[in-house]
C-alpha cells in the first residue's frame, strides 16, 4: 500500500504516467518561505520572449477586420495552428516614446522615454519582468532569470542592453548568454560541504566590505554627479549582498536535479532557442524562478537556417522583396514553430495538482519593431492561462494603445499589485477574459 | 560687497576665459514661424481649443522646444506627419515640397532639442575604465593581455566610449572584474615564474614528403583492392541466378545509380563482402571501396612528388575537398606541451615558386588551422634561389593551453576562408592544370618557434617582489604582505593611496583564504583580484570643488593625458613630471604630447578614436559574398580595414593635414593592398605612403575599399548608407535618425530597375524626400565603387519574386552615371569631381573631427555650451593648415581639459 503523503503521490505520478517528473523539492515542505495562501495552488509564472527585427507584416498579422475567434491564421503564424484556441494576437499596441527604428528590445518591456534624463544619450526604467520579480522573487532561488542569446555583440536588432531586463534604476541587467550558461546557473551542483559554503559566503561578504571601504574613501570630495555615478557601484555591491543573503537562506537546499542534460556548448540559432525554451520549462518545473525573459537571437537563427541574408537587410525587405522577403518569412515561420513547441511542452508539463504549467503561466512574445523602422502595432502574442487573459482571439485594440497597458494587464492578472507600469494608462479590458 | 564678487568673477573669467565653463548661455531651439504656418493652415481647424481632436492642440504649441513636454509634443507632430496619419485622407493634403521642407526643418530641430536637453553644461561625469582602458591598464600593470570580450561593450549607446555618463556598472560586471582580474593575475604569476626560460624548436617541413608518399601507396593499394572486389561483384551480376534480384534492385529507389548494384552486393548471390578486401570501417564499406576505386586526389599527390624541392621543404597545396584525404594545404606546428606562457617569436623560411602569380604571393599565419580568420598575412618576396625568413612576434598565454590554440599554421592567402571558397579554389586549380590540381606557388623550408625571456618586470609584479609567488617558500609575514599590498594598490590606483583600513582588510582576507584551505599563491591572487575590482582602480576619480570649477592637479592631468592619447595609465616619466609639478608648464606639456603621440601606445588612440569618430562598426557587419567578390578574401579584408587606421595613424605620426583624408595623391598601403588595388612596385607587409596618379580614384577615405564595404551589404553597394556616411562623417551634416513609421514602398518589387530608379522613388514621398534628396546624389556619385571598393563602370540587377526566384526578363544592366548635383549645392560630372566638391568642405570635416576629439578627450558629449571651445580648437588647427596634432594640442591646452 502506498502511504498517503506527498512523496508517494509524486512517485505514483512518476510511475503511472509519462509526464515529466515533478521536482523533489515540491514535496518536502519546500514552500516554507512562501505565504500560506500561495502554497495551496501552483504559483504563477511570467515569461517574455523578445526578438529584434520585428516580423513580415504582410504575412504575420491576421486581418484587423476579422477580430475575435473566427479569424484566419496567416502564413507566418501557421505553425501555431494546433494551439489556435490557446493564444491571442493583440493588434494596435505601441510604445509611444520609442522613436528609434533600430532598437527592438531596449524599451520593449519598459515603455520608458529614452530622453527623459538630461545629460544622457538615452535612459531607461524598470522592465515589466522585474516588477514581477520584486513580488515573486523572494520565493525562489532566482528572483528572475534574464536569458540572452549567445551572439558576441548583438546583431539581432535588440538595441542597447544586456538582456530584456532593466533594473529599478533603469540599468541593464546581465543575462545568461546561451543555454549552457543558463543550465549551469540553474542546475550546477555544489559539491562543497555546507559549513564551507557558509564560510565562502562570509568570505564574499568581507570582499564586499573591502571594496566598499575603498569606495567610501573615494567618495570623499566627489561632486554630486560623480557621487551618483559611484552610487551605481554601491548599488552593484548591494545587489550582490542581497543575493548573498538569499544564497544563505538557500544554502541548505541543494540545487534541483536537472530535468534535461547539459546543453552542447556549440548550440546556436534555432537549436539554441529550442534548448533555451526547454530550459525555461525546466526552470519552472523546478521552481528555480517564476520570472523569465529571453532576448532571442535572430542573426544566428538565420545562419542556422542556412540563410546568408544579413538580418538588418532582411528587415528592410519592403522595396526589393525577393530573397529578403523569403528570409523574413522563413524567420517568422521558424520562430512560430519554436513557440508552438514551447506551448506543447508547457501543456504537457504537469503541476502538483494535476493542472499543467500552461494553466499558470502568462507569456508574451513579440518585438518593439513591427517591421522595417515601423514601431506601431508591435507584434504581440499572449498565451498561457495564468493571467486570465482571453485566448484564441485576434484582439484589435484602439490604435496606439500603450504596450505597457498589455504588460500591466498581465502583471495584475498574475497577482502583482502594480497600479501602473511605464507609460500605461490602464489595463486592456478586451484582453481580460 | 560688490568688489570681492567682481574680483572672483574676473579671476574666473581670466582663468576660464576661452572655454565653455563660464559660458552658461544656451541657444534657443525654436520652430521658425514661417514653417509653423503650414501647421496652422492644415491642422488648427481640428487641433485647437479645449475640444481639440484627440486632445492634441496645435494652436497653443510653443515654438520654442526647451523642455521634455514641448519636445514630446513636437515629436508627436513629427510622428503623425511621417507616418502619413495626418492630415487625414478626407482633408486637403499638404503640398509635397512644402511638407518635405517642413519635415526637414522639424526633424533637425528635434535633433537640436535632444542635444539641448542632454547638454551636460560642461560637467564631466566621473567614469569607470572602459573595456579598452581596462585591458590596457591591466597590460601596463601586469604585462598581460586580458580577454575582455565578455565585458559589456561601451560603444552601443552611440556616444564615445569615454563618456562617463553612459558607462554603467552592474553586479554582473563587478563579478566579471573579479574573475578577469583573477585570471590576469594567474597569467602574470605564470609569466613571472617562467621569466628567464628560453626555448626553441624547428620543424623541417620535408617531414611532410614521406607522408604524401605513404598516402599515395595507400591509395594505389586501396584502388587495387577495390577493383578486385568490383570484379567479383561484376561476376555475381553476370550470373543469371541473380537476374531477379537485379531487377528488384533496379526497380527500387535510385535504381539508375551507377553504383546501385555494388551498394546492394548483399542481395547478389556469390558477391563477396568488401570487408574481405580490406575495407573495414564502421560505415558502409561498399561505399568505401567504391571511393577507393576512384582516387580523385591521387594525381595531385603524385604531382606533389614530382616537385623539385620536396626533399628539403614543403609546398602549400590547395585544400582537399574531403577531410579523409591527406591535406597539405596548411603547414602545422604545435607549440610543445609544457612550454610556458610568455613572448614568443615564430619564424619560417619561405619562397615563391615559378607558379606564384602576383595574386598568389601571400601567406597567412594563424592559430588553430580550423579557424577561418588568420592572424596576419605576409607577402612572399623570396625566391627558390634566395628564400626569405619571415619573423612574427607572438604572445603565448594561458588561453593557448588547449591543443587547438597551440597549433600554429601557415597557408596560402585566400584558399580556406570557408568551404565554398576552398572548393572553388581547388576546382579552378584543377581546371588550369589538366585536371591534376592547383599548381604550387609557395614553398616553406622550415618553421620554428622560440620563447624569449621577459624583457622587463611590469610594476604590478615588481610590487610583489618581497613575497614568495610559489607555494614552497615559507609563509610571508603580515608586515611584508601589508607592504606589498600597499605598493600593488598604489600602482593599481595610479598613484592614489588606499586607506590603512583597506590594507588591513586585505591582509585579513588573505588569511581567511588560507583558512579555507587555499594555497598561499591562490590566496594571494584572490586577494589582489579585489584590488583590481576596487573603485579606485576602476574609476577615474577627480574630486570636485563644490563652489566652482577647479584646476586639475598634476597627477590628474597626467591621467587625463595618458588615457586620452594612450588609453592606458601614465608611465614613469609622465608620473615623475607630474610629481615634480612641471606638467602644467605649457612647453613641458607640449613635449609630453609629442612624446606620447610618438609612442606605440598611441596606436590605441588611433584605433579607438578613428573607429568611433568615423563610425566604422559596419566594417564587421557583413559576410562578403566571395562568389561575387573572390579577391576580397578574409585577409584582404583585414588589411583593407587596417588601411583606414594606418592612414590616420600615419597622419598623426607625421602631423599631416586632415585634408589628406578627403583628397590626396598619397595612399598608405602594404603589399596586399597594392596587389588588390593593382598598384605596382609596392612589396612587403608594412604600410607606407605611395603616390598615385592624379586620375586615380584612390587617395582619401573615399578611395578606400573598406569604406565602400561599409556602404554595402557585402554583396551589392548601398548608395544610401554611403550618402549618409558622407553627410555624417565628412560633411558634418548628419541627417536626423531614420524616422519610424514611414509607409514602406513595395510597388517596385520584382521590377527590373536600376539602383538609381529604385531609390529615386524614395523622393516621391515628402517624408522620404526631406532627407533622401540630400543623401542619394552622394551615394549615386560613388556607384563606381562596388561592394568591396573595386572600380566599375557597369552594374546590373536581377529582380526576384516573392519566393526569391529570379523574375523572367527581370535582369537589367546599365552603365553607371555618377554625375549629379548636391541638394542646394554644386554639380559634378564624375567621382573625382564629387570628391573635390566634398574636399572643398574641409572646414566642415575639421569641425566634425574637432567635436569628436573633444568628446573623446573630455569624456562627455559635446554641448551647445562648447561653441567657444570648438571655435578655439578649429582656429588653432586651421592656423597650422589643419595639421592633425595642432587639434590635439589645442584640446590638451584648453581650459576644459585642465578643469574639473
- Could you tell me if B181 and B205 lie in one domain? no
**Within-domain flag for A1:** no
Cα B158 to the center of its chain, rounded Å: 16
- Please indicate whether, in this complex, the C-beta atoms of A318 and B745 are within 8 angstroms of each other: yes
Q: Is the pLDDT confidence value at B888 over 90?
A: yes
Please report the pLDDT score of residue A34 as a whole number.
39
Q: Which of A181-195, B2-16, B677-691, B723-737 has the lowest mean pLDDT?
A: B2-16
Nearest to A411 by CA among A48, A83, A147, A34: A48
**Within-domain flag for A15:** no
- Please indicate whether, in this complex, the C-beta atoms of A374 and B740 are within 8 angstroms of each other: yes
- Could you tell me if A275 and A400 lie in one domain? yes
* Chain B residue whose CA is closest to A196: B516
- Could you tell me if A144 and A81 lie in one domain? yes
Chain B closest-CA separation from residue A184 CA (Å): 16
- Could you tell me if B168 and B304 lie in one domain? no
- Could you tell me if A166 and A88 lie in one domain? yes
> Quick one: DSSP state of residue A291?
E
Neighbours of A210 (CB within 10 A): 24
- CB contacts < 8 Å between A and B, how many? 228
Q: How many domains does chain A have?
A: 2
Residues listed for chain A = 433
Provide the pLDDT confidence category of residue A15 given band limits of 50, 70 and 90: very low
Looking at residues A83-93, what average pLDDT do you find?
A: 97
The CA distance from B740 to B763, in Å, is: 17
The CA distance from B52 to B86, in Å, is: 14
Q: Is the Cβ–Cβ distance between A113 and A96 less than 8 Å?
A: no
**Within-domain flag for B326:** yes
Cell output for B689 = 605612403
- Could you tell me if A144 and A165 lie in one domain? yes
- Could you tell me if B739 and B830 lie in one domain? yes
**Within-domain flag for B826:** yes
The CA–CA distances, whole Å, from A319 to A226, A372, B244, B753, B759 equal: 48, 10, 60, 12, 9
**Within-domain flag for A13:** no
Q: Which of A49-53, B157-161, B602-606, B770-774 has the lowest mean pLDDT?
A: B157-161
Please report the pLDDT score of residue B157 as a whole number.
62
Please report the pLDDT score of residue B827 as a whole number.
96
The CA distance from A90 to B352, in Å, is: 66
Residues B331-363: tens digit of each pLDDT: 999 999 999 999 999 999 999 999 999 999 999
Query: Contacts of residue A115 in chain B, CB cutoff 8 Å?
Result: 68, 71, 114, 117-118
Query: Contacts of residue A321 in chain B, CB cutoff 8 Å?
Result: 746, 749-750, 800-802
**Domain CATH number, residue B443:** 2.60.120.260
- Could you tell me if A199 and A113 lie in one domain? no
- Please indicate whether, in this complex, the C-beta atoms of A218 and B541 are within 8 angstroms of each other: yes
Q: Best residue in A205, A320, A375 to probe B by mutation, most B CBs within 10 Å?
A: A320
- Could you tell me if A139 and A249 lie in one domain? no
Highest mean pLDDT among A57-71, B72-86, B165-179, B242-256: A57-71
- Could you tell me if B729 and B826 lie in one domain? yes
Query: Contacts of residue A245 in chain B, CB cutoff 8 Å?
Result: none
- Could you tell me if A238 and A302 lie in one domain? no
Chain A closest-CA separation from residue B872 CA (Å): 24
Q: How many domains does chain B have?
A: 4
- Could you tell me if A387 and A239 lie in one domain? no
pTM score of the predicted model: 0.81
**Within-domain flag for A178:** yes
Q: Does the beta carbon of B750 lie under 8 angstroms from any beta carbon of chain A?
A: yes
Residues B700-749: tens digit of each pLDDT: 999 999 999 999 989 999 999 999 999 999 999 998 877 777 766 666 67
Q: Omega before B269 cis (within 30°)?
A: no
The CA distance from B663 to B702, in Å, is: 8
Surface of B (597-656) touching A: CB under 8 A: 621-623, 625
- Please indicate whether, in this complex, the C-beta atoms of A221 and B738 are within 8 angstroms of each other: no
Provide the pLDDT confidence category of residue A118 given band limits of 50, 70 and 90: low
* Chain B residue whose CA is closest to A244: B171
Provide the pLDDT confidence category of residue A17 given band limits of 50, 70 and 90: very low
Neighbours of B482 (CB within 10 A): 17
> Quick one: DSSP state of residue B333?
E
**What is the pairing mode between strands A291-295 and A145-148?**
parallel
Cell output for B807 = 523574375
Residue with cell string 586620375: B695
Q: Does the beta carbon of B481 lie under 8 angstroms from any beta carbon of chain A?
A: no
Cell output for B251 = 526497380
Please report the pLDDT score of residue A40 as a whole number.
61
Which stretches does DSSP call E strand in B28-143?
127-128
Residues B780-814: tens digit of each pLDDT: 999 999 999 999 999 999 888 887 788 888 899 99
Neighbours of B236 (CB within 10 A): 19
3-state secondary structure (DSSP) of residue B697: coil
Please report the pLDDT score of residue B745 as a whole number.
62
Q: Is ipTM strictly over 0.85?
A: no
Q: Does the beta carbon of B547 lie under 8 angstroms from any beta carbon of chain A?
A: no
Instruction: Work out the percent of chain B whose per-residue pLDDT is above 70.
Output: 96
Q: Is the Cβ–Cβ distance between B442 and B380 less than 8 Å?
A: yes
Please report the pLDDT score of residue B156 as a whole number.
63
Looking at residues B248-253, what average pLDDT do you find?
A: 87
Residues A141-154: tens digit of each pLDDT: 999 999 999 988 78
Residue where a domain terminates, one of A206, A224, A253: A253
The mean pLDDT value of chain B amounts to: 90
Nearest to A232 by CA among B128, B124, B179: B128
Neighbours of A385 (CB within 10 A): 20
**Within-domain flag for B204:** yes
Residue with cell string 603524385: B302
Chain A closest-CA separation from residue B521 CA (Å): 17
Boundaries of domain holding B633: 610-840
Looking at residues B99-104, what average pLDDT do you find?
A: 86
Chain B closest-CA separation from residue A191 CA (Å): 15
3-state secondary structure (DSSP) of residue B59: coil
Question: Which among A115, A223, A376 is the nearest to B544, CB-wise?
Answer: A223
**Within-domain flag for A277:** yes
Please report the pLDDT score of residue B150 as a whole number.
74
Q: Does the beta carbon of B713 lie under 8 angstroms from any beta carbon of chain A?
A: yes
Instruction: Work out the percent of chain B whose per-residue pLDDT is above 90.
Output: 68
Residues B615-639: tens digit of each pLDDT: 998 888 788 999 999 999 999 999 9
Residue where a domain terminates, one of B840, B867, B895: B840
Residue where a domain terminates, one of A229, A253, A277: A253
**Within-domain flag for A9:** no
Cell output for A311 = 538580418
Question: Which among B72, B127, B170 is the nearest to A173, CB-wise?
Answer: B170
- Please indicate whether, in this complex, the C-beta atoms of A100 and B79 are within 8 angstroms of each other: no
Looking at residues B438-456, what average pLDDT do you find?
A: 95
The string of DSSP letters for A26-59 reads GGTTGGGGS-HHHHHSPPPEEEEEE-SS---HHH
- Could you tell me if A95 and A114 lie in one domain? yes
- Could you tell me if A58 and A207 lie in one domain? no
- Could you tell me if B711 and B777 lie in one domain? yes
Question: Which among B156, B163, B530 is the nearest to A211, CB-wise?
Answer: B530
Please report the pLDDT score of residue B71 as a whole number.
84
- Could you tell me if B447 and B432 lie in one domain? yes
Q: Where are the alpha helices (DSSP H) in A188-223?
A: 194-219
- Could you tell me if B632 and B727 lie in one domain? yes
Q: Is the Cβ–Cβ distance between B426 and B437 less than 8 Å?
A: yes
Query: Contacts of residue A154 in chain B, CB cutoff 8 Å?
Result: 156
Please report the pLDDT score of residue A21 as a whole number.
35
The CA distance from B74 to B103, in Å, is: 11
- Please indicate whether, in this complex, the C-beta atoms of A119 and B505 are within 8 angstroms of each other: no
**Domain CATH number, residue A141:** 3.40.720.10
Please report the pLDDT score of residue A1 as a whole number.
36
The CA distance from A280 to A290, in Å, is: 10
- Could you tell me if B227 and B361 lie in one domain? yes
Q: Is the Cβ–Cβ distance between A418 and A129 less than 8 Å?
A: no
- Could you tell me if A273 and A206 lie in one domain? no
Q: Is the Cβ–Cβ distance between B799 and B807 less than 8 Å?
A: yes
Please report the pLDDT score of residue A22 as a whole number.
36
* Chain B residue whose CA is closest to A378: B741
- Could you tell me if B137 and B232 lie in one domain? no
**Within-domain flag for B577:** no
Q: Is the Cβ–Cβ distance between A105 and A158 less than 8 Å?
A: yes
**Within-domain flag for A17:** no
- Please indicate whether, in this complex, the C-beta atoms of A233 and B799 are within 8 angstroms of each other: no
Residue B434 contacts by C-beta under 8 Å, 6 or more apart in sequence? none
**Within-domain flag for B705:** yes
Q: Does the beta carbon of B737 lie under 8 angstroms from any beta carbon of chain A?
A: yes
The CA–CA distances, whole Å, from B803 to A326, B248, B806 equal: 6, 40, 9
Q: Best residue in A214, A266, A323 to probe B by mutation, most B CBs within 10 Å?
A: A214
Q: Does the beta carbon of B147 lie under 8 angstroms from any beta carbon of chain A?
A: no
- Residue B295: Cβ-neighbour burial (10 angstroms; 0-12, 13-18, 19+): buried
Cell output for B740 = 519610424
Looking at residues B125-153, what average pLDDT do you find?
A: 91
- Could you tell me if A313 and A373 lie in one domain? yes
Q: Which residue has the higher pLDDT, B455 or B666?
A: B666
Q: Does the beta carbon of B659 lie under 8 angstroms from any beta carbon of chain A?
A: no
Please report the pLDDT score of residue A8 as a whole number.
37
Residue where a domain terminates, one of B100, B117, B134: B117
Chain B closest-CA separation from residue A30 CA (Å): 28
Please report the pLDDT score of residue A135 as a whole number.
92
Query: Contacts of residue A199 in chain B, CB cutoff 8 Å?
Result: 512, 515-516
Nearest to A213 by CA among B371, B533, B442, B384: B533
- Could you tell me if B70 and B130 lie in one domain? no
Provide the pLDDT confidence category of residue B751 given band limits of 50, 70 and 90: confident
Q: Which residue has the higher pLDDT, B8 or B177?
A: B177
Q: Is the Cβ–Cβ distance between A180 and A276 less than 8 Å?
A: no
Question: Which among A213, A308, A321 is the nearest to B623, CB-wise?
Answer: A308
Please report the pLDDT score of residue B13 as a whole number.
36
Q: Does the beta carbon of B500 lie under 8 angstroms from any beta carbon of chain A?
A: no
**Within-domain flag for B582:** no
Q: Is the pLDDT confidence value at B7 over 60?
A: no
Please report the pLDDT score of residue B19 as a whole number.
40
Residue where a domain terminates, one of B117, B150, B179: B117
**Within-domain flag for B14:** no
- Could you tell me if B421 and B472 lie in one domain? no
Q: Is the Cβ–Cβ distance between B294 and B224 less than 8 Å?
A: no
Residues A355-377: tens digit of each pLDDT: 999 999 999 999 999 998 889 99
Residue where a domain terminates, one of A205, A228, A253: A253
- Could you tell me if B732 and B819 lie in one domain? yes
Q: Is the pLDDT confidence value at B16 over 60?
A: no
Boundaries of domain holding A215: 190-253
Residues A62-86: tens digit of each pLDDT: 999 999 999 999 999 999 999 999 9
Residue B160 contacts by C-beta under 8 Å, 6 or more apart in sequence? B612, B852, B855, B856, B859
The CA distance from B214 to B220, in Å, is: 10
The CA distance from B735 to A86, in Å, is: 45
Q: Is the pLDDT confidence value at B422 over 70?
A: yes
Q: Does the beta carbon of B372 lie under 8 angstroms from any beta carbon of chain A?
A: no
The CA distance from B644 to B666, in Å, is: 13
Residues B559-584: tens digit of each pLDDT: 999 999 999 999 999 999 999 999 99
Amino acid at each position: 500500500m502506498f502511504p498517503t503523503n506527498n512523496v508517494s503521490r509524486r512517485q505514483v505520478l512518476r510511475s503511472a504516467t509519462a509526464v515529466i517528473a515533478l521536482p523533489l523539492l515540491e514535496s518536502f515542505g519546500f514552500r516554507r518561505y512562501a505565504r500560506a495562501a500561495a502554497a495551496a495552488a501552483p504559483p504563477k509564472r511570467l515569461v517574455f520572449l523578445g526578438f529584434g527585427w520585428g516580423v513580415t507584416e504582410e504575412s504575420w498579422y491576421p486581418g484587423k477586420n476579422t477580430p475575435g475567434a473566427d479569424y484566419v491564421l496567416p502564413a507566418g503564424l501557421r505553425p501555431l495552428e494546433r494551439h489556435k484556441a490557446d493564444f491571442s494576437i493583440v493588434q494596435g499596441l505601441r510604445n509611444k516614446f520609442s522613436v528609434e527604428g533600430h532598437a527592438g528590445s531596449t524599451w520593449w518591456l519598459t515603455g520608458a522615454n529614452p530622453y527623459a534624463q538630461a545629460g544622457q544619450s538615452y535612459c531607461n526604467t524598470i522592465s515589466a519582468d522585474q516588477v514581477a520579480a520584486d513580488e515573486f522573487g523572494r520565493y525562489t532561488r532566482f528572483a528572475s532569470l534574464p536569458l540572452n542569446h549567445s551572439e558576441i555583440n548583438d546583431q539581432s536588432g535588440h538595441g542597447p542592453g544586456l538582456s530584456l531586463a532593466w533594473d529599478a534604476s533603469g540599468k541593464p541587467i546581465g543575462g545568461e548568454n546561451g543555454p549552457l550558461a543558463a543550465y549551469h546557473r540553474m542546475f550546477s551542483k555544489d559539491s562543497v560541504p555546507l559549513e564551507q559554503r557558509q564560510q565562502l559566503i562570509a568570505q564574499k561578504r568581507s570582499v564586499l566590505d573591502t571594496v566598499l571601504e575603498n569606495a567610501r574613501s573615494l567618495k570623499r570630495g566627489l561632486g554630486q554627479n560623480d557621487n551618483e555615478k559611484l552610487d551605481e557601484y554601491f548599488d552593484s555591491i548591494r545587489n550582490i549582498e542581497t543575493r548573498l543573503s538569499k544564497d544563505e537562506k538557500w544554502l541548505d537546499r541543494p540545487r534541483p536535479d536537472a530535468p534535461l542534460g547539459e546543453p552542447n556548448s556549440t548550440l546556436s540559432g534555432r537549436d539554441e532557442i529550442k534548448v533555451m525554451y526547454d530550459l525555461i520549462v525546466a526552470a519552472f518545473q523546478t521552481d528555480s524562478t517564476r520570472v523569465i525573459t529571453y532576448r532571442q537571437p535572430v542573426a544566428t537563427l538565420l545562419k542556422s537556417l542556412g540563410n546568408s541574408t544579413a538580418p538588418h537587410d532582411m528587415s528592410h525587405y519592403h522595396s526589393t522583396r525577393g530573397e529578403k522577403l523569403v528570409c523574413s518569412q522563413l524567420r517568422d515561420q521558424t520562430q512560430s514553430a519554436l513557440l508552438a513547441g514551447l506551448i506543447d511542452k508547457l501543456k504537457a508539463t504537469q503541476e502538483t495538482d494535476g493542472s499543467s504549467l500552461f494553466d499558470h503561466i502568462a507569456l508574451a512574445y513579440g518585438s518593439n519593431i513591427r517591421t522595417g523602422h515601423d514601431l506601431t502595432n508591435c507584434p504581440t502574442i499572449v498565451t498561457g492561462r495564468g493571467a486570465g487573459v482571453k485566448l484564441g482571439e485576434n484582439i484589435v485594440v484602439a490604435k496606439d494603445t500603450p504596450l505597457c497597458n498589455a504588460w500591466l494587464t498581465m502583471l495584475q492578472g498574475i497577482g502583482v499589485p502594480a497600479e501602473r507600469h511605464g507609460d500605461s494608462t490602464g489595463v486592456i479590458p478586451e484582453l481580460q477574459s | 560687497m560688490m568688489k570681492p564678487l567682481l574680483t572672483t568673477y574676473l579671476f574666473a573669467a581670466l582663468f576660464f576665459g576661452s572655454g565653455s565653463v563660464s559660458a552658461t548661455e544656451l541657444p534657443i531651439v525654436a520652430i521658425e514661424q514661417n514653417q509653423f504656418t503650414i501647421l496652422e493652415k492644415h491642422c488648427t481647424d481640428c487641433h485647437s481649443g479645449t475640444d481639440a481632436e484627440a486632445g492634441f492642440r496645435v494652436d497653443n504649441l510653443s515654438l520654442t522646444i526647451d523642455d521634455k513636454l514641448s519636445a514630446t509634443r513636437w515629436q508627436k507632430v513629427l510622428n503623425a506627419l511621417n507616418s502619413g496619419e495626418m492630415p487625414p485622407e478626407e482633408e486637403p493634403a499638404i503640398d509635397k515640397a512644402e511638407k518635405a521642407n517642413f519635415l526637414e526643418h522639424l526633424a533637425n530641430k528635434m535633433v537640436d532639442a535632444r542635444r539641448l536637453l542632454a547638454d551636460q553644461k560642461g560637467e564631466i561625469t566621473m567614469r569607470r575604465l572602459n573595456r579598452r582602458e581596462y585591458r590596457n591598464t591591466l597590460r601596463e600593470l601586469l604585462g598581460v593581455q586580458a580577454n575582455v570580450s565578455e565585458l559589456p561593450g561601451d560603444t552601443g549607446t552611440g556616444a564615445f566610449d569615454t563618456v562617463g555618463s553612459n558607462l554603467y556598472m552592474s553586479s554582473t560586471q563587478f563579478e566579471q572584474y573579479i574573475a578577469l582580474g583573477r585570471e590576469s593575475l594567474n597569467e602574470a604569476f605564470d609569466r613571472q615564474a617562467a621569466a628567464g626560460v628560453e626555448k626553441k624548436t624547428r620543424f623541417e617541413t620535408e617531414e611532410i614528403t614521406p607522408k604524401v608518399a605513404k598516402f599515395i601507396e595507400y591509395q594505389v593499394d586501396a584502388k587495387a583492392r577495390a577493383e578486385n572486389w568490383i570484379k567479383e561483384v561484376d561476376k555475381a551480376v553476370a550470373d543469371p541466378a541473380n537476374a531477379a534480384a537485379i531487377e528488384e534492385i533496379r526497380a527500387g529507389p535510385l535504381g539508375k545509380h551507377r553504383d546501385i548494384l555494388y551498394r546492394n552486393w548483399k542481395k547478389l548471390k556469390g558477391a563477396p563482402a568488401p570487408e574481405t578486401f580490406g575495407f573495414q570501417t564502421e560505415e558502409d564499406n561498399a561505399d568505401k571501396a567504391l571511393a577507393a576505386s576512384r582516387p580523385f586526389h591521387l594525381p595531385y599527390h603524385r604531382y606533389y612528388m614530382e616537385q623539385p624541392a620536396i626533399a628539403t621543404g614543403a609546398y602549400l597545396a590547395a585544400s582537399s575537398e574531403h577531410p579523409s584525404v591527406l591535406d597539405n594545404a596548411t603547414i602545422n606546428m604545435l607549440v610543445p606541451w609544457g612550454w610556458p606562457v610568455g613572448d614568443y617569436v615564430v619564424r619560417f623560411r619561405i619562397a615563391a615558386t615559378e607558379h606564384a602569380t602576383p595574386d598568389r604571393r601571400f601567406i597567412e599565419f594563424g592559430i588553430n588551422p580550423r579557424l577561418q580568420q588568420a592572424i596576419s598575412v605576409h607577402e612572399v618576396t623570396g625566391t627558390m634561389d634566395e628564400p626569405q625568413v619571415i619573423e612574427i612576434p607572438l604572445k603565448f598565454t594561458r588561453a593557448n593551453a588547449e591543443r587547438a590554440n597551440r597549433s600554429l599554421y601557415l597557408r596560402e592567402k585566400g584558399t580556406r576562408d570557408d568551404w565554398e571558397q576552398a572548393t572553388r579554389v581547388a576546382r579552378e586549380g584543377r581546371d588550369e592544370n589538366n585536371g591534376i590540381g592547383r599548381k604550387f606557388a609557395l614553398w616553406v623550408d622550415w618553421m620554428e618557434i622560440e620563447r624569449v625571456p621577459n624583457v622587463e618586470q611590469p610594476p604590478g609584479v615588481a610590487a610583489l617582489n618581497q613575497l614568495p609567488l610559489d607555494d614552497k617558500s615559507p609563509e610571508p609575514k603580515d608586515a611584508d604582505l601589508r607592504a606589498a599590498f600597499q605598493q600593488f594598490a598604489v600602482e593599481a590606483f595610479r598613484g592614489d593611496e588606499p586607506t590603512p583600513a583597506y590594507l588591513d582588510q586585505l591582509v585579513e582576507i588573505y588569511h581567511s583564504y588560507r583558512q579555507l584551505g587555499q594555497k598561499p599563491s591562490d590566496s594571494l591572487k584572490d586577494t589582489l583580484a579585489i584590488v583590481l575590482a576596487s573603485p579606485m582602480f576602476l574609476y577615474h576619480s577627480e574630486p570636485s570643488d563644490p563652489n566652482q570649477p577647479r584646476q586639475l592637479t598634476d597627477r590628474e592631468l597626467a591621467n587625463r593625458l595618458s588615457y586620452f592619447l594612450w588609453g592606458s595609465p601614465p608611465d614613469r616619466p609622465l608620473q615623475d613630471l607630474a610629481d615634480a609639478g612641471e606638467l602644467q608648464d605649457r612647453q613641458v606639456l607640449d613635449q609630453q604630447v609629442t612624446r606620447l603621440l610618438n609612442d606605440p601606445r598611441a596606436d590605441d588612440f588611433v584605433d579607438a578614436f578613428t573607429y568611433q569618430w568615423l563610425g566604422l562598426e559596419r566594417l564587421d557587419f557583413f559576410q562578403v559574398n566571395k562568389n561575387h567578390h573572390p579577391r576580397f578574401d578574409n585577409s584582404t579584408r583585414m588589411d583593407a580595414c587596417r588601411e583606414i587606421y594606418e592612414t590616420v595613424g600615419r597622419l598623426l605620426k607625421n602631423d599631416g593635414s586632415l585634408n589628406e583624408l578627403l583628397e590626396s595623391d598619397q595612399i598608405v598601403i602594404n603589399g596586399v593592398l597594392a596587389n588588390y588595388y593593382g598598384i605596382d612596385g609596392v612589396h612587403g607587409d608594412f604600410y607606407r605612403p605611395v603616390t598615385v596618379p592624379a586620375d586615380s580614384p584612390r587617395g582619401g577615405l573615399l578611395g578606400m575599399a573598406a569604406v565602400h564595404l561599409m556602404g554595402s551589404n557585402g554583396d551589392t553597394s548601398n548608395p544610401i548608407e554611403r550618402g549618409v556616411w558622407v553627410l555624417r562623417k565628412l560633411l558634418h551634416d548628419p541627417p536626423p535618425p531614420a524616422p519610424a513609421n514611414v509607409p514602406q514602398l513595395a510597388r517596385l518589387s520584382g521590377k527590373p530597375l536600376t539602383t538609381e530608379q529604385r531609390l529615386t522613388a524614395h523622393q516621391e514621398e515628402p517624408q522620404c524626400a526631406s532627407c533622401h534628396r540630400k543623401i542619394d546624389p552622394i551615394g549615386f556619385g560613388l556607384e563606381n565603387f562596388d561592394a568591396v571598393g573595386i572600380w566599375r563602370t557597369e552594374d546590373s540587377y536581377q529582380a526576384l519574386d516573392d519566393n526569391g526566384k529570379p523574375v523572367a526578363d527581370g535582369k537589367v544592366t546599365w552603365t553607371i552615371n555618377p554625375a549629379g548635383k548636391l541638394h542646394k549645392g554644386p554639380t559634378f560630372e564624375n567621382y573625382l569631381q564629387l570628391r573635390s566638391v566634398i574636399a572643398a568642405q574641409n572646414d566642415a570635416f575639421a569641425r566634425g573631427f574637432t567635436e569628436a576629439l573633444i568628446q573623446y578627450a573630455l569624456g562627455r558629449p559635446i554641448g551647445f555650451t562648447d561653441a567657444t571651445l570648438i571655435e578655439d580648437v578649429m582656429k588653432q588647427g586651421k592656423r597650422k593648415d589643419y595639421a592633425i596634432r595642432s587639434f590635439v594640442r589645442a584640446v590638451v591646452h584648453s581650459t576644459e581639459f585642465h578643469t574639473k
